[in-house]
A = this chain, B = another copy of it.
Amino acid sequence: MPKQDLKRPIGVFDSGLGGLTVVKHLIKLLPHENIVYLGDTARVPYGTRSKEAVEKFSFEDANFLLRMNVKCIIIACNTSSALAGEKLKKRIKIPVLDVIAPTLKHAKNVSKGGKIGIIGTRGTIDSGAYKVKFAVPCPLFVPFIEEGKTKGESLKLISKDYLSYFKKHKIDTLILGCTHYPIIKNIIQQEMGKNVILVDSGKAVAEELKNLLSSSKMLNEGKTKGKKEFYVTDLTDRFTKVAEMFLGQKIKNKLAKIDL
């Protein structure tokens, strides 16, 4: 890649703001990279929609990032990865990473007994993309998290209900197959018990991207902190509050509302 091209940003898209948990890991692992993030907040959530709708939306998201001249794309949404990942990878000429393959690889590496479970949206779970034996859709987790209701008795009861299946089957590793879920990691860990390893797809995909950029000589070799730009398709008053919860830091960077 020509030297000036190394500075092209990493493109990251998600159905909404959950993908910012991926950006959080990217900032930590690849601090010099420029990042362009797109959250399709006008049409979030993807997790309850049809394959056809998710494919259409995902291509629109990716095309926006391509217009922003990104050097690679991370599909930071498990539902998009599951329902549109393969098609996006085939049709787009720059590297496209989805969260599924790295997350699954990481889960297999850390699992002691190979009894791996996964939780995700209905779309992700029904797609079977993770090819994991123990799988449960947890559709109410996303609304709870988006509402900032990340603790409390009601969420605990919902968790108990969703996770009882995994406890019955004595899994040793649980994939958090939705980029929202790391926000309620504590509640899930408490319910599953401390011996079950939780795998965060944000961390897994950030590590995979670092390896890829490094081995393909695509790393930004600048020494300054990378620039971050955030784009959303709908902007409400609550945006900053929710976004900062996912990102784990203040948003001081460029933020704009765009149409797809």
Residues of A within 8 A of B (CB): 41-43, 48-50, 52-53, 122, 139-140, 142-144, 146-147, 149, 152-155, 157-158, 161, 234-236, 238
Contact = CB atoms under 8 A, between A and B. Distances in A.
Nearest to A143: B143
B158 A49 contact: no
B161 A48 contact: no
Contacts of A234: 49-50, 52-53
A179 B58 CA distance: 30
Contact of A50 (B152, B155, B161, B235): B235
A48 B139 contact: no
Contact of A157 (B48, B153, B161, B238): B153
A53 B153 CA distance: 34
Contacts of A144: 140
Nearest to A54: B234
A51 B48 CA distance: 23
9 contacts: A43-B43, A48-B146, A50-B235, A52-B234, A53-B234, A142-B143, A154-B155, A154-B158, A157-B157
Contacts of A155: 154
A149 B161 CA distance: 12
A153 B50 CA distance: 30
A126 to B, nearest CB: 8
